[in-house]
Structure 1
Amino acid sequence: MENLRSTPVLDRAVALLHAGELVGIPTETVYGLAADASNPGAVARLFECKRRAWFHPISLLCDSAKTAFHLVAEVPESAARVAQRFWPGPLTLILRKRPEAVPDLLTAGLPFVGVRVPDHPLALALLERFGRPLAVTSANRSGHLSATTAEAVEAEFRDEVPLVLDGGRCCVGVESTVLFLADPRPVLIRSGGTPLDLLEEVVGPIDRETDFRSDTRRLGRHYVLRTPFSLIRTPEEIPASARKDAGLLAWGPCPEGFAICRSLSALFRLEEAAANLFGYLRELDECGLRRIYAMLLPERGLGCAVNERLRKAAEASATAGLGAGDYASNPSSPPSSS
């Protein structure tokens, strides 16, 4: 693992990318696997290493809004406004691409492309030094938990990725919000690091993805745990007899009786909870527990993004035959704690 932000480290990363290799990179959201977007072989290697379905598009990371908008056919006024307000940051915009600028391999043949300017100094330094956009997808196998540390990326890919740039723990900790702006009416494709209410302050009402064209969906990826996984509203729902060999992902202080408890935020801070989510899920999943329980967060701001991923994990657990457990996998929203 490279732990320095020195020029030699960035030079090595750039050389590997030019050679068609993959590089693990930090962003403020989660760690990503990066490839030269202009190299079809490198992009194909990215799909294969990720074990990603070929019909799932891959977004591009850019060093500036100017670079990002050079890849699209038109820049709606709404896109310009949100880019000015939220870039660099955890927001991916889906716009109509310039076919000559974005290969179909990256977009699964669709006329759209996802673009983002990350808010991480090491990612931006690499993008600037590389000189063109990078194809980047989260640094985890499809269906696995996203990585928020360089160590998690190395554990996931071992020798398949020759270099992982260590930029520390991701400060946001959940993937970017994905907003479709290629049509007049904005559509939320995925909740993430940029809260919906802040976006609506800039672009007005935003539709939630329901009947939106399925081939552009980004929510089909599940987060499959090895341990049976269930959602609860409060720890009191779990009797003492069921706690001793179970783990709890708590919202607020950890209650007594569970074999292992990790609090997403003991002080009810949504930002802290999002940053801790994937790391704590990975830790609990590796402990050989009978079951993991997780408390839902308030449905506001980053709480919506965290809850979306918790529900995906619960749905995936049930689909994988691990069972929905002692509580339904999609309970109603919890009361606000703060």
Structure 2
Amino acid sequence: METKRWKVDNAVENLKNNPQIKQAAELLAENEVVAFPTETVYGLGGNAENDEAVAKIFLAKGRPSDNPLIIHIAEKEQMASFVEEIPSVADRLMDAFWPGPLTLILQKKKGALSEKATVGLETVGVRMPDHPVALAILKECGLPIAAPSANSSGKPSPTTAAHVAEDLSGKIAGIVDGGPTGVGVESTVLDCTSAVPTILRPGGITREQLEAVIGRVEVDPALAGGNAKPKAPGMKYRHYAPEAPLYLVAGSREFVQLLATKQMEEGKRAGILTTGESAGFYKADVVIACGRRDRLETVAASLYDTLRMFDESEADVIYSEMFPEEGVGHAIMNRLMKAAGSKVISETGE
């Protein structure tokens, strides 16, 4: 398959009646799949109402068939066709954070969407992306669009069109290049069907931000692991992984350096994932600064690109510093734990 690629200007005024946006939207209406930028990562979009289109998403990504897809919309009114009701708590969150990196889990209407998209669940995840290109495409096609991250399943999510092309060229109909994304980690997924709204996946909107709007918010214990059927993407499978084994290190910089030194003494190419504050401290084959520790949003924005850089460096093993689990740090550690397959080395041996 030839994968078309369009470079578009993000300026809103340049997206009106844009022929490239129209071409991408037409492909979606024809039940093809197209990658486009959102404020979090690049998404791989397909018509959520059509089984054939949704099947193409799973096939292109190599995604497990029991991993549900998030539905992207451009207007709140679109939800009337596939959502049973919008609880008041969800309405308040939409007013506060949409468009933006927040996915809300709601009760779906039977038969309104492809069962493949929601993997037989009675609920559906919905979000409105905060990116002019994504919104322009969604408005132009007028369809609810299922759109997981536009990468091969299990690999680091794509934050540039080049990442998408690396994974999916020849497998999808098109890539809309709107430049690098901003937030860098996927949307927060919040279940609004439970008695207390519950975070199923931490992301660009923090628990603290949510609680400032609606009060108490819980975190699903399934985030710690287990075999429960996933209610949201990212809950069950290993994700975001570089080619080399990745280990999270709970300990001092000196301990991280010791681990890397031992690997190099054995003839292996050792990598260290750190931040700008500590990059000059380490001596290893590959040292990559992923943002700054005093500004965790920069770590989130750079995380997936950093993991892909380790692949390019051909590191044999990667050691990563850990980050405080506060604010967006929850999302950063969630992604790193997934990428590492929950492998943690502790300096204290605990």
Same fold (TM over 0.5): yes
8 Å CA contact 1:243, 1:257 repeated in 2? no
The offset of 1:121, in angstroms, is: 0.5
Unaligned runs of 5+ in 1: 319-323, 333-338
Q: Which residue of 2 aligns with 1:251?
A: 275
Q: TM-score, normalised by structure 2?
A: 0.86
Distance 1:18 1:303, change over 3 A: same
Selected match of 2:77 from 57, 66, 85: 66
In the other structure, the counterpart of 1:199 is 210
In structure 2, relative to structure 1, the CA distance for the partners of 1:248 and 1:69 (3 Å cut) is farther
Aligned residue in 1 for 2:236? 220
Contact 2:271 2:287 in 1 (8 A): yes
Matched, 1:2 2:26: no
The amino acid across from 1:3 in the alignment is K
Structure 2 Cα separation of the partners of residues 26 and 143 of structure 1: 19
Partner of 1:335: none
Change in Cα spacing, 1:211 to 1:283, as seen in structure 2 (3 Å) is closer
- Which whole-Å deviations, capped at 9, do the CAs of 1:255-284 have from their partners, x for residues lacking one? 231222221224621111111000011111
Flag the 1:307–1:267 CA change in 2: closer, same or farther, 3 A: closer
In structure 2, which of residues 336, 339, 350 is the aligned counterpart of residue 313 of structure 1?
339
Which of the residues 294, 301, 304 maps onto 2:330?
A: 304
Q: Give the 4+ runs in structure 1 shifted more than 6 A.
A: none
**Mapping of 1:164-243 within 5 angstroms?**
164-210=175-221, 214-218=229-233, 219-223=235-239, 224-232=241-249, 233-237=251-255, 238-239=257-258, 241-242=261-262
Q: Is contact 2:261–2:284 with CA below 8 Å preserved after alignment?
A: no
Counterpart amino acid of residue 299 in structure 2: A
Paired residues in the alignment total 323
1:158 aligns with 2:136: no
| AA of the residue aligned to 1:228 | P
Q: Distance in 2 between matches of 1:211 and 1:146?
A: 22
Taking a change above 3 Å as real, the CA distance of residues 36 and 315 of structure 1, as seen in their structure-2 partners, is same
Q: CA deviation at 1:251?
A: 2.8
- C-alpha spacing 1:91/1:69, structure 2 compared with 1 (3 Å): farther
Q: Deviations over 1:125-145 (max 9, x none)?
A: 111111121111111122111
The 1:150/1:234 distance shift into structure 2, 3 A limit, reads farther
CA-CA distance at 1:217 after TM superposition? 4.7
**Quick one: structure 1 residues 313 and 215, their matched pair in 2 at CA, closer, same or farther if it must change by over 3 Å?**
closer
Distance 2:141 2:180 in 1: 23
Q: Which runs of 5+ in 2 are unaligned?
A: 10-14
2:26 to 15, 40, 55: 15
Deviates most, 49-58 or 124-133 = 49-58
Within 2, Cα distance between the matches of 1:279 and 1:99? 39
Cα distance, 1:211 vs structure 2 = 5.6
Q: With structure 1 as the length reference, what TM-score do the two structures score?
A: 0.89
Contact 2:34 2:172 (C-alpha < 8 Å) held by counterparts: yes
Q: Percent identity?
A: 36
